[in-house]
Amino acid sequence: MHTQVGIIGAGPAGLLLGQMLHVKGIDSVILESRNQDYVIDRVRAGVLEQSTADFMDAMGVGDRLHREGMRHEDVYVSFGGRRHLIPLAELTGGKAIYVYGQNEVVKDLMNARLATGRPLHYEVSDVSVHDINTDQPRIRYRHNGSDQELICDFIAGCDGFHGICRPALASALGDAAKFYDRTYPCGWLGILADAPPSSDALVYTYHERGFALYSMRSQKITRLYFQVPPDEDIRDWSDEAIWEEMLARMTTVDGWKPNVGPILNKNVTAMRSFVAEPMNAGRLFLAGDAAHIVPPTGAKGLNLAAADVLLLGRAFAQFYRESKTDLLARYSCEALKRVWKAQRFSWWMTQTLHKFPGENPFDYQRQLADLDYIVGSKAAMTSLAENYVGLPIDVAF
Ligand code: FAD
Ligand code: PHB
């Protein structure tokens, strides 16, 4: 079997790349180790930057996002018991964010893939990559009980943080590969609740008990988080205790609080920052979480995956259309510029809004001053807004 681009992983990065390549008339085969329902049901991101929404539109997969997603022109930052509005659109020349679950993004992309008739194989196992330093790299895997080999022009490693592509890159590059890593001494306990939103914008809260985030998925479902120790066992938290803690952190002096309802899903996520550099080795190119992880506080993970794909898809298109390789050669360097800015922003949001063990009252006052400065200075607020809606990127392809 031969394809132009062999894509490993059918999360947002792999599916977006498959769609972009299809629009450009480039063949791909997507290989996914899980089954379709598992990939759809994972409760993860909820916020799309303006440019991610524009990118989906440009690929013809944005219709449902505009029908069912929620465009938010504002976000709140809450501390000292008060919510402060950050008017995102007003500060960024009309840019906004879209609240639309990753589950929905993935569903739209899977349907689009199905409509193209191009291959997407689920439940593949024993995936490995070979000959990445030649112009015929290969992917070996098992599917439906038999061993397969896919000969490719290129391999796109879109297999997330725990995939096989980054280790393959590491062993191919040896000392030439660098990995930057930071773990945080906290995690997020997240819930999906059958309760209609009580706010028309997300609320990032800094409370003396720690961080909390109010988000949503639809007119009926809310998504809430609060900071816990990284190794917290979700079984230690009854639904009643979770609501008590959510309300304790989120309720403001004007009486605003989340609506309470049955909890549909609950889990704990660890937080880390991670960057692999470079993002390619020979003809293996990484995109999305396979190459970098951000703590969720900046809502950047899925958006960075989309930004990588835009650059990588453009580079493949240039290769096939013009037989040129300069965009492929520059891919890692260009992608990493945005990655590091998103790392900085996500780290800054995390360290400003969380309580860390070992901090003292000085640190708490410093964090409050940071937040007070943000909401009191148009320049500081604009800086937050332009990072939050997403730094400029040209989505034309
Ligand atoms: P993944 O979604 O991890 O997809 C990789 C795929 O590869 C998976 O389907 C996996 O099964 C498959 N795979 C793995 N190994 C193999 C293999 N060997 N062979 C074949 N397939 C393989 N981001 C935002 O932008 N905004 C947010 O609001 C946001 N909130 C978040 C909240 C939480 C709680 C979490 C955990 C994450 C959040 N993120 C957010 C981050 C976002 O979910 C990820 O950045 C995004 O899923 C990355 O997409 P990806 O396709 O690169 O990787
Ligand atoms: C979410 O809705 O899941 C969400 C929103 C904003 C974040 C992280 C997660 O920063």
User: What is the per-residue DSSP string for 320-369?
Assistant: HHH---HHHHHHHHHHHHHHHHHHHHHHHHHHHH---TT--HHHHHHHHH
Q: Closest by alpha carbon to 313, among 32, 58, 26, 12?
A: 26
Best residue for ligand 2 mutational test, from 204, 211, 215 (most atoms within 8 Å of Cβ): 215
> Which ligand has the nearest atom to the CA of 306?
1
Residue 394: its pLDDT value, please? 86
Output the pLDDT for position 319. 98
CB of 289 sitting under 6 A from ligand 1: yes
User: What is the CA(131)–ligand 1 centre distance, in A?
Assistant: 26
DSSP summary character for residue 100: -
Report how far residue 311's alpha carbon sits from residue 214's, in angstroms, rounded to the nearest whole number: 32
pLDDT of residue 353: 97
Give the tokens for residue 267. 């889990």
- Site to probe by mutation for ligand 2, drawn from 97, 213, 300 as the one with most ligand atoms within 8 Å of Cβ, is 213
- Our measurement of the distance from residue 112's CA atom to the centroid of its chain's CA atoms, rounded to an integer in Å, reads 20
Ligand 2 center to residue 45 CA distance, Å? 6
Q: Which stretches in the chain have pLDDT values below 70?
A: none
What are 29's two structure tokens? 């085969």
Question: Does residue 278 have a cis bond before it (omega within 30 degrees)?
Answer: yes
Cα–Cα distance, 355 to 364 (Å, whole number):
8
pLDDT, residue 118, reads: 98
Residue whose structure tokens are 């992309």: 109
Q: How far is the CA of 311 from the centre of ligand 2 (A)?
A: 25
Query: Which of 241-249's residues contact partners 24+ apart within 8 Å by CB, and which partners?
Result: 242/189, 242/191, 242/266, 245/209, 246/191, 246/212, 248/207, 248/209, 249/205, 249/207, 249/209, 249/210, 249/211, 249/212
Residue 6 CB less than 6 A away from ligand 1: no
Tell me which ligand sits closest to the C-alpha of residue 140. Answer: 1
**Nearest-ligand number for the alpha carbon of 224:** 2
> Residue 268 has what pLDDT?
97
Q: What is the pLDDT of residues 362-396, one digit of tens each?
A: 999 999 999 999 999 999 999 999 999 999 888 87
* pLDDT at residue 397, rounded to an integer: 73
Residue 395: per-residue pLDDT: 83
Among protein residues, the one with the nearest Cα to ligand 1's atom 4 is: 11
